[in-house]
């Protein structure tokens, strides 16, 4: 098994998490300043909330680092293997013939760092999709896109494109079964 044929850029991913944290702090500082203009005695609650935000974000960055370090994936002849996890671990083995589509994600921060994420799903993922809020014909949900299949985050953009092509090539060699 060739683990992570295209390496995950863990340090860049952590930089992105840190930038999100700074952005949150800036927004909080702006809102807090406006509130403090009208509530001069609100300094202590402001500082307590600031401390909570810093603590939660610090833990989130640490968890994100450990999670990215734990991720491993490989493309075998007929199967895509995706594993990882910090405390509880998972391993997904997806037959390539069952993959439905491939998505390339580039968030704003990823674009600044030249990174992208690749995700794909089998029909199984649909049953656990968290972004569905009543999808039916004639009405589309605009809720936030949240992939539920394997998400290989923070690859270099060129590597993400190569990974996508590898998966698509492997998919084209396999036929869909029972129309799926």
Q: Name the site residues for other proteins (rule: CB under 8 A).
A: 37-38, 99-108, 110-111, 121-123, 125-126, 129, 131-132, 135, 137-141, 143, 145-149, 164, 168, 171-172, 175-176, 179-180
Taking the least distance from each CB to other proteins, the nearer of 3 and 146 is: 146
Minimal distance, residue 179 CB to other proteins, in Å: 8
Cβ atoms of 68 and 13 within 8 Å: the answer is yes
Minimal distance, residue 75 CB to other proteins, in Å: 16
Taking the least distance from each CB to other proteins, the nearer of 39 and 51 is: 39
Cβ atoms of 141 and 81 within 8 Å: the answer is no
Taking the least distance from each CB to other proteins, the nearer of 37 and 44 is: 37
What are the φ and ψ backbone dihedral angles of 46, each rounded to 5 degrees?
-60, -45
Minimal distance, residue 126 CB to other proteins, in Å: 5
Tokens 């656990």, residue located: 128
Beta bridge partners, 84, equal 90
Beta bridge partners, 170, equal none
Calpha distance 62→57 (Å, rounded) = 9
């Amino acid at each position: 098994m060739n683990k992570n044929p295209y390496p995950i850029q863990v340090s860049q991913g952590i930089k992105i998490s840190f930038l999100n944290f700074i952005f949150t702090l800036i927004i909080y500082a702006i809102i807090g300043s406006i509130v403090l203009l009208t509530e001069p005695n609100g300094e202590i609650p402001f500082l307590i909330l600031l401390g909570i935000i810093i603590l939660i974000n610090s833990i989130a960055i640490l968890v994100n680092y450990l999670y990215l370090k734990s991720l491993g994936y490989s493309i075998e002849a007929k199967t895509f293997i995706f594993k990882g996890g910090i405390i509880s671990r998972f391993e997904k083995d997806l037959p390539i013939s069952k993959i439905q589509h491939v998505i390339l994600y580039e968030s704003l921060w990823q674009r600044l760092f030249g990174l992208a994420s690749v995700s794909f799903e089998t029909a199984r993922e649909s049953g656990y999709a968290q972004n569905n809020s009543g999808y039916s014909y004639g009405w589309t949900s605009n809720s936030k896109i949240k992939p539920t299949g394997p998400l290989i985050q923070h690859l270099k953009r060129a590597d993400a494109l190569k990974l996508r092509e590898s998966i698509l090539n492997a998919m084209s060699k396999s036929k869909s079964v029972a129309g799926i």
